[in-house]
Amino acid sequence: MNRKSLVILGTVVSNLLTANEDSSSSSSSSEDDDIQVRAVFVNAFASLVPEVHPRQVGYLQVISQYSCQDFWRHFRVSRASFGLLLHHLQTDNFRSEVAYHGGFEPMTNSEMLLIALQYLGNQGAIRLLADKFNRTESSIWNAVDLICKFFYQKQSKFIKFPARNEMRKTAAQFYEKANFPGVVGAVDGCHIEIHPTTENELAYRNHKKFHSFNLMAVVLPDRTFSYIFTGFPGSSHDSYVFRRSSLYQQIENQQRFNYDRYHLIGDSAFPLKAWLLVPYKKTAAGLTRSQK
């Protein structure tokens, strides 16, 4: 039953409730009450039908016509990278394609991945994605949630620190790029902006005057991540966060590589260690730029 039919039905019911009243004895007060009762019923019945919001149709077909540059601008990955991610979804027990039984067609793995990537890469409102993909807001949230959980659980397949037998190859790749020997990783930190709760606001306020949590990462010469460590509030210094990471403890115990041959490099925010090289401080007097 559509909205118009329910409004009519509500009016009929309100009329029936007052049909047996003695119209000759009605006063202006009772007439006002009668009008109010009718209005309540009309509104109650009308509210039973949800509002229909028009949405775009055919956005998936539009995506298929994007140039490589436009695809990257919208989803922040290349088509090749998208294909690789989709391959993992389809071959690694993400979910079975849902059979169509009428109504809205179920989302494919490809559509769910497109939705998640566009949400993560553009900070857009969920309602705008729902309109663009012609889906409900709840289905958009569900797609983002499922995709994120899948890759979080599989992170060890994608974020891997070089094994001992891979150190020589990694160091050679760094040397080829920067002519600097023995490097097996570059470490740095950044801040992920958040909106904290009032009770923790000061702890998450960083030195750049916005609220965040700290993300520390190590990258390889091809700029892929080999290690990440996150969760500390933005007020925490990079060196403080690094000292509490599992990687720091493992390297200190020589579980990752030998100090005498390999090392990480970092900026001046990190401590100087036998296995971690950082720039000379500005106070290093008497040294030329090349010596530094």
Instruction: Find the angle CA(20)-CA(28)-CA(21) to the nearest 5 degrees.
Output: 5
**CB contact set of 134 (below 8 Å; sequence gap of 6+):** 55, 56, 57, 59
Domain that holds residue 39: 3-46
- Start-to-end CA distance of the chain, whole Å, equals 79
176, 265: one domain: yes
Structure tokens at 128: 């705008």
Task: List the structure tokens of 153.
Answer: 């659980």
Rounded to an integer, what is the distance from CA 290 to the centroid of its chain? 43
Place of tokens 């040397």: 175
| CB of 211 closer than 8 Å to CB of 193 | yes
Gap between the Cα atoms of 97 and 117, Å rounded:
19
Structural domain includes residue 290: no
Q: Looking at the structure, tell me whether residues 150 and 165 fall in a common domain.
A: no
Is 119 among the domain residues? Answer: yes
Report which residue type is found at 122: N
Contact 245, 189 (CB under 8 A): no
**Overall average pLDDT of the 176-196 stretch:** 94
Distance CA 215, CA 36 (A): 59
- On whether both 166 and 214 belong to a single domain, the answer is yes
- Residue 124 tokens read as 């857009």
- What percent of the chain is modeled with pLDDT above 70? 75
pLDDT higher than threshold 90 for residue 218 = yes
Query: Residues 73-107: pLDDT tens digits?
Result: 999 999 999 999 999 999 988 876 555 555 678 89
User: What phi and psi, each to the nearest 5 degrees, are found at residue 224?
Assistant: -90, 150
Residue 276, CA distances (Å) to 88, 132, 166, 241, 248 in order: 35, 48, 19, 15, 10
Segment 222-262, tens digit of pLDDT: 999 999 999 999 999 999 999 999 999 999 999 999 988 99
Do residues 233 and 200 make contact, with C-beta atoms less than 8 angstroms apart? yes
289 within domain boundaries = no
Distance CA 14, CA 17 (A): 5
Average pLDDT estimate for 251-278:
93
pTM above 0.85, yes or no: no
Q: Are residues 261 and 169 in the same domain?
A: yes
Residue 172 domain-assigned (yes or no)? yes
Q: Is residue 248 part of a domain?
A: yes
Number of domains in the chain: 3
Residue 200 confidence class, pLDDT cut points 50, 70, 90:
confident
14 vs 221: CA distance, rounded Å = 75
Q: Are residues 80 and 92 in the same domain?
A: yes
Q: Per the domain annotation, does 195 fall within a domain?
A: yes
Shared domain check, 165 and 255: yes
The count of C-alpha atoms lying within 13 angstroms of the C-alpha of 184, restricted to the half-sphere facing its C-beta, is 23
244 part of a folded domain: yes
